[in-house]
Amino acid sequence: METKMAGEGQKSKGWFWWVLVTVIAVLVIVAVALTILKDFHSKAAKVHHSPVEQKYADALGIAMQFFDVQKSGQLVNNRISWRGDSGLMDGSGEGLDLSKGMYDAGDSMKFSFPMAFTATMLSWAILEYGDQMDAVKQLRNAQDSLKWITDYLINAHPSPNVLYIQVGDPDLDHECWQRPESMTLQRPLTQVNTSYPGTEVAAETAAAMASASLVFKKINSTYSSLLLMHAQQLFAFADTYRGSYSVTAPSEQRFYNSSGYGDELLWAASWLYLASADRSYLRYATIDHGQEFGNWRRPTWISWNNKLPGVQVLLSRVDFFGASEVPITENLALQMYRETAEMMMCSLLPDSPTATSSRTESGLIWVTEWNSLLHPVGSAFLAILYSDYMLTSGTEALFCSERSYTPGNLRDFAISQVDYVLGENPMKLSYLVGFGENYPQYVHHRGSSIPADATTGCKDGFKWLNSSAPNPNVAVGALVGGPFRNETYSDSRNNSMQGEPSTYNSALLVGVLSGLVTSSSVANSFL
C-alpha cells in the first residue's frame, strides 16, 4: 500500500515534473532558436546589409565584369551588351585554337605573360576567399573567367617544350584603332621553345595552371589533373632551358619587359608544391634556389613583372599552417621568406617605424607613373592575406622595430587603399569604372570608345580615339591606371599612362575586395 501510494504519488508527481520539464525544455528550445535566428539575421545583415561591406560587395560585382569585357573568342553567356565574338581564327594558322583568353588592356593583343599572372592572382583570390565570393554570388563568375584563361593556356602548350606566348603583332596592332570584333589584321603567333626559351613566361604559365588546378580540383578532377600535368611540364621546360623571353621576343620589351626569371621560378615551384604536395618543389623554392633568387630581407613591389612579394606571402602561408610537415632545413628558408614578408608589411603600415615613403599625401601607395594603382592594389591584396593568416593562426602581433601591430592594422591598411580607389580621394573620383557617381568617362580602351554598331577600318577608327565625346560603352569593372603622385588624374582618352585599364589590375582588385566582403578567416589548406 505504502509502496503503491508512494508509487502513485511518485507517478502523479512524476507526471507533474514531466510537464514542467517539457515546458521548460520547449521554452529553452524556443529561446535558443530565437537567439540563433537573431544571430543568423545579424550575421546575414553583416554580409548583405551593413553599409560598409555592401560597398565592397558592390565593387566586387563590378570589378569582376571587366574579365567579360576582355574576353576573346566565341562568347558564352555574355553579360556585356556591347561585346561580341572576336579572335575566332586566332591560332588556326598553326592548327591551334587560341581563340579564348583575354586581351591584356585597351588593345587587342593577347600577351601570355600578364594573362597568366592575371590567372594566378584570380586563382589565389578564389582559393582564399571563394566562400566570400559565393556569399555575394560572384564565385561562378570568378571560376568562369579563370577557366576562360586556362582553356587558352592549355591550347597554347601543344607539346612539352613549346609554348605560344603571344597572339598578334603589337606594332601592327597599335597602328589601328578598332574593336576586337572587327579586327582585320593578321594575327601572327610567337612561341618559346628549346632554342628560344622564355623561362619567366613558361614559369608564370606553370604557376597559373598549378594554382588553377587547385581551384578546379573539386569541380572537375579531370580538368584539374590536366592543368597540373601542363604545369609540371612547363616548369621543367622553364627551368631546364633558361633564358628570358624578353631576349627571345624583343618586341615584348616595350610592353611587358621582364627584369628576370628567378621570381617566376620560385613562384611556380611554390604553387606546384601546394598543388601536388610534391616536396621536391618546396625544396626547389627553399634550400635549392631560395638564396639564389629569393632576394631575402629586401622587400620589393608586387607586379606582373615581380612575383617575389607573392612568393614571400604564399610561403609564409606554408609557415603559418603547414610548418610541422616541413623538414627543418626547408623550414629555415621559410623563415627567411616570412621575415621578408613581414618587412614588406611593416613598410606598408603607414605609422610603422619602417613605413615606406612611396605614398601620396593622402596615403595611397604610389610607386610608378604608369599604371600607378597596380602597386597599392597589389599591396592591399597581400596585406589582407597576411592579416587573415595571422587571424586564422591566432598570431596576435607583427613586430616592426619593436612596435607591435595587429591583423586589424593590416586590414585597415588594405581598406585605406581600396577606399581611395573607390572615391575617397582628393579628386572624389572612383577609379573603378561603373562604381559610384563619378568615374572616368574617357577610358583608353578601343571597344569601349567605339559604338558597337560602327563600321571601322584600321585607320579611320582613330576618329573614335580623337572624339571629344565620352566613351559610348562603359568598360564596366575597368580599374584605370590611376592618379599621379600629386593625386591628379586627367580623364582623356589618349592618356594611356593614367587611363588604360588591365586584366591584372582587376585580378588584384578582385582579390582584395573578396577579402573585404566579410570579415574573414582562411582555410588552413587549399586541398
Beta bridge partners of residue 391, listed in sequence order: none
Q: Decide if residue 253 touches ligand NAG (CB under 6 A).
A: yes
Residue whose CB is less far from ligand NAG, 226 or 367: 226
According to CB under 6 A, which one of 22, 50, 240, 257 is a site residue for ligand NAG?
Answer: 257
Residues contacting residue 183 through CB under 8 Å, at least 6 positions apart: 86, 87, 108, 176
Q: Decide if residue 465 touches ligand NAG (CB under 6 A).
A: yes
Q: 153 — phi, psi (to 5°)?
A: -65, -40
Q: Decide if residue 222 touches ligand NAG (CB under 6 A).
A: yes
In angstroms, the CA 415 to CA 324 distance is 33
Residue whose CB is less far from ligand NAG, 305 or 387: 305
Residue whose CB is less far from ligand NAG, 257 or 395: 257
Q: Decide if residue 191 touches ligand NAG (CB under 6 A).
A: yes
Closest distance of CB 494 from ligand NAG, Å:
4
Beta bridge partners of residue 405, listed in sequence order: 398
Q: Decide if residue 196 touches ligand NAG (CB under 6 A).
A: yes
According to CB under 6 A, which one of 396, 460, 521, 524 is a site residue for ligand NAG?
Answer: 460
Q: Decide if residue 193 touches ligand NAG (CB under 6 A).
A: yes
Residues contacting residue 433 through CB under 8 Å, at least 6 positions apart: 62, 439, 440, 443, 474, 475, 476, 477, 478, 479, 480, 501
**What number of chain residues touch ligand NAG (CB under 6 A)?**
24
Taking CB under 6 A as the binding criterion, the range among 42-50, 215-223, 323-331, 413-421 that sits at the site for ligand NAG is 215-223
According to CB under 6 A, which one of 141, 190, 360, 518 is a site residue for ligand NAG?
Answer: 190
Using CB under 6 A as the binding rule, the residues of this chain from 62 to 101 that contact ligand NAG are none
Closest distance of CB 491 from ligand NAG, Å:
14
Task: Output 436-442 pairs: Cβ under 8 A, ≥24 positions apart.
Answer: 440/480, 440/489, 440/491, 440/499, 441/470, 441/471, 441/491, 442/470, 442/471, 442/491, 442/492, 442/493, 442/495, 442/499
Q: Is 336 exposed, middle or buried (0-12, 13-18, 19+ CB in 10 A)?
A: middle
Beta bridge partners of residue 167, listed in sequence order: 110, 189
According to CB under 6 A, which one of 117, 223, 245, 304 is a site residue for ligand NAG?
Answer: 223
Closest distance of CB 490 from ligand NAG, Å:
8
* From 230, 375, 444, 445, active-site residue: 444
Residue whose CB is less far from ligand NAG, 280 or 488: 488
- Contact, 433 vs 481, CB < 8 A? no
Closest distance of CB 359 from ligand NAG, Å:
15
Beta bridge partners of residue 398, listed in sequence order: 405
Q: Decide if residue 248 touches ligand NAG (CB under 6 A).
A: yes
Identify the DSSP state of 189.
Answer: E
Q: Decide if residue 362 touches ligand NAG (CB under 6 A).
A: no
Residue 278 C-alpha from the chain's centroid: 24
Nearest to 445, CA basis, from 468, 474, 482: 474
Identify the DSSP state of 93.
Answer: G
According to CB under 6 A, which one of 291, 466, 521, 525 is a site residue for ligand NAG?
Answer: 466
Using CB under 6 A as the binding rule, the residues of this chain from 263 to 292 that contact ligand NAG are none
Residue 16 C-alpha from the chain's centroid: 64
Query: Active site includes 49?
Result: no
In angstroms, the CA 269 to CA 266 distance is 5
Residues contacting residue 405 through CB under 8 Å, at least 6 positions apart: 345, 346, 349, 352, 397, 398, 399
The alpha-helical segments, DSSP class H, found in 323-400 are 328-348, 374-393
Q: Decide if residue 113 touches ligand NAG (CB under 6 A).
A: no
Residue whose CB is less far from ligand NAG, 439 or 489: 489
In angstroms, the CA 191 to CA 94 distance is 11
Residue whose CB is less far from ligand NAG, 106 or 130: 106
Residue whose CB is less far from ligand NAG, 110 or 283: 110
Using CB under 6 A as the binding rule, the residues of this chain from 472 to 501 that contact ligand NAG are 484, 486, 488, 494
Q: Decide if residue 456 touches ligand NAG (CB under 6 A).
A: no
Q: Which residues bind ligand NAG (CB under 6 A)?
A: 190-191, 193, 195-196, 220, 222-223, 226, 246, 248, 253-254, 257, 259, 460, 462-463, 465-466, 484, 486, 488, 494
The residues assigned a catalytic role are 444
